[in-house]
A = this chain, B = another copy of it.
Amino acid sequence: MTPTITAFERSPDRGRGLARDMRVRWALEEVGQAYDVRLVSFSELKEAAHRRLHPFGQIPTYEEGDLALFESGAIVFHIAQRHAGLLPDDAKARARAITWMFAALNTVEPPIFERSMAIIVEREKAWHEERLRLLEDRVHVRLGELSGRLGDANWLEGVFSAGDLLMVTVLRRLVGSGILENYPRLCAYIARAEARPAYQRAFEGQLSVFTGQPTTG
């Protein structure tokens, strides 16, 4: 059964692949699962019909028969459980890869997301610059730690996993900030991920919503 995911009808990032449907598209492309995309307007996000699928009124959601999921990390995990290619078979290696999924979303993403939020919400405040420096200090701590752990490896645990997929989508939110350039290993890590054919198909898919080209998937 072909699953259906939701994405923004109007891409707030102009198709740069920063919305969280990108994570789900990429996971589906990695495992070779076709999917349909239903576009949702900003007003529909907050209506009862969508909130039945997603209590927090966001995208993406994932529907497959009578199973309905929300939360990009959970959807990526569900895809990784159902198909080969995103989590190792060995139980211990699998637990390690899952650890990186949670680390991406609960340790690395929060300071990066707060920085983006501050730029959107607090840009006009007199204290914006001062606070942005505090936030960027927190981001630098995490990036330094992550870069140190990655070292010269291609992926966080040897082979590409859903942990790398989520981590790269988290890091990509910093593209254009000038911050990533301090961490050449992380830049190379992101570039390695972006070179994957599945990433490129997913990126084209989300970009087509913005450009108005037909959605593939």
Interface residues of A (CB under 8 A from B): 51, 55-58, 66-67, 69-75, 77-78, 81, 92, 95-96, 98-99, 101-103, 105-107, 109-110, 113-114, 121-122, 125-127, 130-131, 134, 142, 145-146, 148-149
Bound-state CA distance A98–B51 (Å) is 18
Contact B102 A56 (CB under 8 A): no
How many copies, total? 2
Expressed in whole angstroms, the minimum distance between the Cβ of A195 and any Cβ of chain B is 25
Given contacts A55-B148, A146-B55, A148-B55, contact A99 B69 (CB under 8 A): yes
Contact A73 B106 (CB under 8 A): yes
For this complex, 6 residue pairs linking A to B, each with C-beta atoms less than 8 Å apart, are A55-B145, A55-B146, A55-B148, A55-B149, A56-B107, A57-B145
Given contacts A145-B55, A145-B56, contact A99 B71 (CB under 8 A): yes
CB-defined contacts of A55 to chain B, threshold 8 Å = 103, 145-146, 148-149
Residue of B nearest to A101 (CB): B74
Contact B78 A102 (CB under 8 A): no
Expressed in whole angstroms, the minimum distance between the Cβ of A103 and any Cβ of chain B is 5
Expressed in whole angstroms, the minimum distance between the Cβ of A21 and any Cβ of chain B is 15
Contact A95 B74 (CB under 8 A): yes
Expressed in whole angstroms, the minimum distance between the Cβ of A201 and any Cβ of chain B is 24
Given contacts A74-B99, A110-B113, 13 further A-B contacts (CB under 8 A): A55-B146, A56-B145, A57-B145, A66-B92, A67-B92, A70-B99, A72-B106, A78-B98, A105-B106, A106-B106, A110-B110, A110-B114, A126-B127
